Structure 1
Amino acid sequence: MVSEYLKQNTAEYHDAAEKLFNSEKIFNKTFTLEDYKKIINTNYLMLLHSEDKIFSNLSDKFSEKLQLNQRKKLPLIEKDLQSLSLENQNASHDLEFSNDYEALGAMYVIEGSTLGGNVIAKQLSKTEGFDNVTFNFFGCYQENTGPMWKNFKEVLDTEVTEENYNEVLSGAKKLYTFLLNVN
């Protein structure tokens, strides 16, 4: 299954992202508003440079099965930027996906961050200093987080054959590399 293949082959990128964002501080309640601004700004830059490109690379078959119209996160994270008094920016980096498979790999990174973001939002809402924070991006699917992730994994695992695993992995690595180097 391609979802397991991606999980295994992107683990080092995932760990590097957690380290970059000081994720351990989230759970020991030492995460600050400045830490949160960094994680939001970096995720914003990732979405700004990738979301439209991912969605436009996916064929209608995937658009429908993945309910892409319900997965747009850029407008949500822009609300977070505004509430944190951070500035919107223009896309300044070149990030391209060559086909459905690379786009799906990049989407794996974003959907995975949504899954983790739900946990982050719950944890931070119990942390001092986050009383007035609205978690638009990290809480985007709310109670539907599990079903949305399950749907994404199901489409990946049923639609991607082994001969395309490397292309999907390539898309995931492209987006992780961007995320880890953009700030």
Structure 2
Amino acid sequence: MTISEYLKQNTAEYHDAAEKLFNSEKIFNKTFTLEDYKKIINTNYLMLLHSEDKIFEKLSERFSEKFQLNDRKKLPLIEEDLKSLSLKSTAASRELEFTSEKQALGAMYVIEGSTLGGNVIAKQLSKTEGFDEVTFNFFGCYQENTGAMWKNFKEVLDAEVPEEQYAEVLSGAKKLYTFLLNVS
């Protein structure tokens, strides 16, 4: 089993809890409101504010290059969304730390995975009444390259993480999911 399969399997309950927290089913039956959207953006903003730099700092030069980290920065994009929605930037009520590169990789898995879902959300909401003026900077961050960016991320992860490090990578993913689910 690859690390990406292992992470998908072992974070499924967290993923489901996040979908529930954000009322994701309303996105597809077109009852999702602008207030729902503001909540999802604000929570993801807090997650990125408290994790993105910490994750990137923990990753070695090797990972920076292989992941093209500069192309993966999402905090400036979600800050644009905050502005366009007239939301104030705030700090989270809890701290978040990653103690190793492996934990940072696990956390990055959560963020990169959210861009896949985000792409679907942006497409769906752009067809929903009340979202005509919304700019999907964060959810549309990779545009038509979303699939390729995810594939690249998974391939590097699967090639670079040996089985004996799976548990530590998973602990980083769980740490970020736990933060996301409790920060709002």
With normalisation by structure 1, the TM-score equals 0.99
Counterpart-to-counterpart distance in 2, 1:91 and 1:125: 29
What residue is the counterpart of 2:170 in the other structure?
169
Consecutive unaligned residues in structure 1, runs of 5 or more: none
What residue is the counterpart of 1:78 in the other structure?
79
2:100 corresponds to 1:99: yes
Provide, for residues 100-145 of structure 1, a one-character-per-residue CA deviation record: whole Å limited to 9, x for no partner. 1100000000001001000000000000000000000000000000
2:52 corresponds to 1:68: no
2:71 corresponds to 1:55: no
- Residue 179 of structure 1 aligns to which amino acid in structure 2? L
The CA RMSD measured in Å over matched residues stands at 0.7
Identity %: 85
Q: 1:89: Cα distance to partner?
A: 1.8
Q: 1:53: Cα distance to partner?
A: 0.1
Counterpart-to-counterpart distance in 2, 1:4 and 1:20: 24
How do 1:100-179 and structure 2 match up within 5 A? 100-179=101-180
Any conservation in 1 of the 2:93–2:183 contact (CA below 8 Å)?
no
Counterpart-to-counterpart distance in 1, 2:181 and 2:93: 16
Consecutive unaligned residues in structure 2, runs of 5 or more: none
Could you say what secondary structure the match of 2:123 adopts? helix
Counterpart-to-counterpart distance in 1, 2:63 and 2:101: 8
